[in-house]
DNA sequence: TTGAAAGCGCTAACAA
DNA sequence: TTGTTAGCGCTTTCAA
C-alpha cells in the first residue's frame, strides 16, 4: 500500500474502515482498519502502540492519528491470547463489605495500573465454599498473577494455584508454607502483643470479642496463651457473627458484663466491634479507660476520632497492596522476591 | 481417532497431553488435549462443556472425566475472542474505601455469577480524572455489559460508552438523559424529603454537612431550596473532604456551633459523618435529639445501633445491584428493560 | 450426533 | 525500519 502523506479525511476513513466488500454490518475496528487508514501494516500499528521506541516518531504519529480517527480500542482478549500476557492480575478478597482491605485493594489497583496491569477483583466470601468456582473462573482468564488475601485455602485451591504456573502472592498473614510469595504479618504476634500491652497497663481480667474468621482466631489463640503465660486468669471469649458490626460489639459488652463482671480489658477483632464496645460502655456509664480498657484492630479512619480515642492495631494495608503488586510484576519480569513481614504496631490512645 | 472404551490411565494421559512430537516444554492443556484423552474431537469437547444438552450423556461423561484427568481449565480469552461473548461484566465504582456501595457490588457479583458472568471491578476515584483511561482498559476486554455507579461522566466517557455498542446500566441516581439503562433514585427528592422531615419535627435552623461529591451536592441543593420554600432560614452549609470520616463530622459540628449557634437540625451526606456529629455532640454535652436532630445517609449497619440510634436515608443498594445485573443480562439476551426508580425511605430513629 | 475447516484479532518469529 | 506468515485456543459454520 502506498504511504499517504497524511491521515485521510473523515469520510475517507469511514470508507476505509467499513470496507468496500461488505459495507453493511458494523464491525469493531481492528488493527487492520487502523493500518489501512495510517497507510502502514498491521504489525507496524501493533509496534507503534506496544513498543513505541521501536518505531520512528513520524510513523508513530501517523498511527496515533489513525487510532484517534477510527476510535480504535485494542482487543485485549486477542492480545492476551496471542502474546500469552493478559496484563491482568486477579485479587481475591474475603469480602468488600468491610473496609479493612480497602486500602490494600486501592494500592494494588494503583501500583498495578502504573505498571500497565489491570486488577480483576473476586470475592471469596468468608470461607472456602465458592472459592473453587471463583478460582476456576479466574484462572480461565489467564491472569499474569494472582494476589490472595489470607493464607487459608482449601488443598484443592492450593494445588490448582501451585499447578497453573502463575505467580501468586498471599497477603495479610504469614505462613511457613506459602504457595509462592508472601507479604503479611503475624497474627499470632498481634494477639500476644496486645495481651502484653493490656497486662502492662494493669489490666488482668481480659476478654476477647472476635468475629469468626481464621485470622482473628489466630490472634485470639495467642492472646489467650499469653495471658496464661503471664499468670492471668483465662480471658473470656465472645464470638460474634461476621461481618462484625457496631451492634454486635454493644451486645458483646453486655454479655461480657453479665457473665464476667470483673473484666477490665477487651481486645476486639475489628475497630467497628470496638466502637460498639465504647458505645455500650458510654451508654451504661462504664468508664473507658477508667474501668475497662479497649483495643481494636485495623486502625480504621474513625478509630483516632472515637470518644475516647480508640487504641488499635495498625497494619499498613496500603504497603501490603503495594508490595504484593511489586512482587507480582517483578516475578513476571523474572525477578523473584522474598517473603516480606510488614509487621504491625499498637497505636496507644485513650481507650486503653 | 478410535473411540476408547474408557479414559486412559494417568501415565497414558500424560503421554497424550505432552505429545510425542515435543515432550519437552510444558504447555497448558487445551481442548485438543482433552479431546485426545476422551477420544473425541475438539468440537465435541467444546459442546459437552458449553451446550451439554446437545451431547449424549455417555459422551458428556467421557469428556468430563477427561477434563478432570487433564486438569483442563478453558481459556476464556480464546472463548471470548472467538464467540464474541466474554462473559465479563465490568462495574465502575467511585471508590472502595467507603462501604456504601458494598452491598451493590455484592449483589452484582452474586446475580451475575448465577447467570454465568463474572464481574470486573474498576475504581474511578471520585472525579472524572482517570475515568477515561480506566474505560479504555475496560472496553478493551470486550465486556458483555458495563455497570456504572453514578450518572456524572465526562462527555468523552459517555460518547465512548454509547459508541461501543455494549449494554450500559447507570445506577444510584436518576437522569433524564441516560446513556442506556438506568436503575437508581432521585437524590433531589432525598434532599427535599429530609428537609421536610426535619421541618415537620420542629427543626427550623437547619444545616447540611456534605462531602464534595456530585450526588451529595444534588441532595444539598434541594434541601436548601426546600428550606427556602418552607420559609425557613437559609441552611448553613459545611463541606468536608472526601472520603468523609467520623473526624470530619466532629469537626463540622464544632464549626457549625461556632458560627450558627441556633442550629437545631443537621443533614449529613453519610452515616459516618453523622456518627461524628453524634460523637461530638455527646462529647460537648449537647443533647441529641433534645437540642439538635441528626439525619444521616446510607443507613449503614451501624446506624441503628448508634447512641442515640441514627435516623438515616435508607436505599436498597442490594436491589440496585440485582436489578442492574438483571438488566445487563436481559439486554444481552435481547430483552430491553425500562428505567427503574428504586426509591428511598427515611428511617426515623431517635436522633431526629 | 459428530467432525473438519475456517477464522476471531492480535503479535511472535522471521525475512527483507 | 517495515512487512509477511503463521498461529495463540477456541467456537462458528457447514457438511456428513
Q: Is residue B30's pLDDT more than 60?
A: yes
Per-residue pLDDT, A265 = 98
Q: Is residue B20's pLDDT more than 80?
A: no
Per-residue pLDDT, B14 = 59
Categorize the per-residue pLDDT at A4 as very low, low, confident or very high, splitting at 50, 70 and 90.
Answer: very low
Nearest residue on chain B to A250, alpha-carbon basis: B305
d(CA A37, CA A15): 10
Q: Among chain A residues 103 through 162, which have CB within 7 angstroms of nucleic chain C? A: none
The domain locations on chain A are: 9-74, 85-185+317-343, 187-314
Residue bearing the bigger pLDDT, B150 or B139: B139
| Residue A98 neighbours by CB distance under 10 Å | 22
Per-residue pLDDT, A128 = 55
User: From start to end of A221-337, where are the E strands?
Assistant: 236-240, 265-268, 293-297, 311-314
> Average pLDDT in the A118-140 region?
81
Q: In the CATH scheme, what architecture does the domain B9-74 have?
A: Orthogonal Bundle (1.10)
Residue B54, CB, less than 7 Å from strand C?
yes
pLDDT tens digits along A172-188: 999 999 999 999 999 99
- The number of angstroms, rounded, from the C-alpha of B84 to the middle of its chain's C-alpha atoms is 24
Q: Is residue A273's pLDDT more than 80?
A: yes
Q: Nearest C-alpha of chain A: how many angstroms from B225?
A: 32
In a mutational test of the B interface, the residue from A301, A304, A317, A321 whose CB has the highest number of chain B CBs within 10 Å is A301
Per-residue pLDDT, A122 = 86
pLDDT tens digits along B60-114: 999 999 999 999 999 999 999 999 999 999 999 888 777 788 889 889 998 998 8
Per-residue pLDDT, A127 = 55
> Average pLDDT in the A312-334 region?
95
**Cβ A39 vs Cβ A4: under 8 Å:** yes
Q: Is residue A352's pLDDT more than 70?
A: yes
CB spacing of A73 vs B118 below 8 angstroms = no
Averaged confidence pLDDT in chain B: 90
pLDDT tens digits along A187-222: 999 999 999 999 999 999 999 999 988 899 999 999
- Which range of A276-285, B26-35, B120-129 scores highest in mean pLDDT? It is A276-285
Per-residue pLDDT, B26 = 59
pLDDT tens digits along B194-211: 999 999 999 999 999 999
Per-residue pLDDT, A160 = 87
SS3 B338: coil
d(CA A142, CA A121): 14
Contacts of residue A15, Cβ cutoff 8 Å, sequence gap at least 6? none
CA nearest to nucleotide C2 C1': residue: B44
Q: Which of A77, A140, A304 is closest, CB to CB, to B141?
A: A77
> Average pLDDT in the B133-144 region?
93
Q: Is residue A335's pLDDT more than 90?
A: no
Q: Is residue A234's pLDDT more than 90?
A: yes
Q: Is residue A16's pLDDT more than 70?
A: no
Q: Is residue A14's pLDDT more than 80?
A: no
Per-residue pLDDT, A6 = 61
Percent of the residues in chain B that have a pLDDT greater than 90, as a whole number: 74
Residue A31, CB, less than 7 Å from strand C?
yes
Q: What superfamily would CATH give domain A187-314?
A: Response regulator (3.40.50.2300)
Q: Which nucleotides of C are covered by protein (CB under 7 A)?
A: 1-5, 7-13
Q: What is the edge-to-edge ordering of all strands in the sheet holding B345-347?
A: B236-240, B206-211, B265-268, B293-297, B311-314, B345-347
Per-residue pLDDT, B299 = 96
Per-residue pLDDT, B349 = 98
pLDDT tens digits along B259-315: 999 999 999 999 999 999 999 999 999 999 999 999 999 999 999 999 999 999 999
Quickly list DSSP for A304-333.
GGSSSPPEEEE--HHHHHHHHHHHHHHHHT
Q: From the CA of A199 to the C1' of C8: give the distance in Å.
A: 66
- The reply to whether domains B85-185+317-343 and B187-314 share a CATH topology is yes
CA nearest to nucleotide C6 C1': residue: B82
In terms of residues, how long is chain B?
352
With an 8 Å Cβ cutoff, is B46 touching chain A?
A: no
3-state secondary structure string across B164-201: CCCCEEEECCCCCCCCCEEEECCHHHHHHHHHHHHHHC
Q: Is the pTM of this model over 0.75?
A: yes
Per-residue pLDDT, B24 = 37
Q: Among chain B residues 59 through 88, which have CB within 7 angstroms of nucleic chain C? A: 59, 78, 81-82, 84
Task: Report the topology of domain B85-185+317-343.
Answer: Rossmann fold (3.40.50)
Grid coordinates representing A206 are 481480659
Per-residue pLDDT, B164 = 85
Amino acid at each position: 500500500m502506498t504511504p499517504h502523506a497524511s491521515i485521510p479525511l473523515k469520510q475517507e476513513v469511514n470508507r476505509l474502515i467499513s470496507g468496500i466488500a461488505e459495507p453493511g454490518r458494523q464491525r469493531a475496528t481492528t488493527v487492520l482498519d487502523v493500518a489501512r487508514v495510517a497507510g502502514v501494516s498491521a504489525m507496524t500499528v501493533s509496534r507503534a502502540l506496544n513498543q513505541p521506541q521501536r518505531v520512528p516518531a513520524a510513523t508513530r504519529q501517523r498511527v496515533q492519528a489513525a487510532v484517534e480517527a477510527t476510535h480504535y480500542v485494542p482487543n485485549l482478549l486477542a492480545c492476551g491470547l496471542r502474546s500469552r500476557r493478559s496484563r491482568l492480575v486477579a485479587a481475591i478478597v474475603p469480602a468488600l463489605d468491610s473496609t479493612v482491605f480497602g486500602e490494600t485493594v486501592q494500592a494494588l489497583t494503583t501500583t498495578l495500573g502504573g505498571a500497565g496491569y489491570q486488577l480483576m477483583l473476586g470475592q471469596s466470601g468468608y470461607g472456602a465454599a465458592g472459592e473453587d468456582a471463583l478460582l476456576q473462573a479466574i484462572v480461565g482468564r489467564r491472569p499474569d498473577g494472582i494476589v490472595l488475601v489470607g493464607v487459608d485455602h482449601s488443598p484443592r485451591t492450593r494445588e490448582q494455584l501451585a499447578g497453573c504456573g502463575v505467580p501468586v502472592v498471599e497477603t495479610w498473614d504469614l505462613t511457613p508454607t506459602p504457595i509462592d510469595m508472601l507479604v503479611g504479618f503475624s497474627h499470632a504476634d498481634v494477639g500476644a502483643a496486645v495481651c502484653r500491652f493490656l497486662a502492662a497497663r494493669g489490666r488482668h481480667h481480659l476478654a476477647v470479642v472476635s468475629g469468626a474468621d481464621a485470622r482473628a482466631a489466630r490472634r485470639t489463640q495467642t492472646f489467650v496463651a499469653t495471658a496464661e503465660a503471664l499468670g492471668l486468669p483465662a480471658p473470656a471469649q465472645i464470638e460474634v457473627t461476621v461481618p462484625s458490626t457496631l451492634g454486635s460489639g454493644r451486645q458483646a459488652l453486655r454479655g461480657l458484663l453479665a457473665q464476667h463482671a470483673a473484666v477490665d480489658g477487651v481486645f476486639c477483632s475489628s475497630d467497628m466491634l470496638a466502637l460498639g464496645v465504647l458505645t455500650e460502655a458510654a451508654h451504661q456509664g462504664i468508664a473507658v479507660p477508667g474501668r475497662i480498657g479497649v483495643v481494636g484492630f485495623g486502625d480504621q479512619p474513625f478509630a483516632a476520632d472515637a470518644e475516647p480515642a480508640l487504641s488499635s492495631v495498625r497494619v499498613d494495608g496500603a504497603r501490603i497492596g503495594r508490595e504484593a503488586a511489586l512482587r507480582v510484576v517483578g516475578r513476571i519480569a523474572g525477578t523473584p522476591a522474598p517473603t516480606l513481614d510488614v509487621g504491625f504496631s499498637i497505636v496507644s490512645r485513650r481507650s486503653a
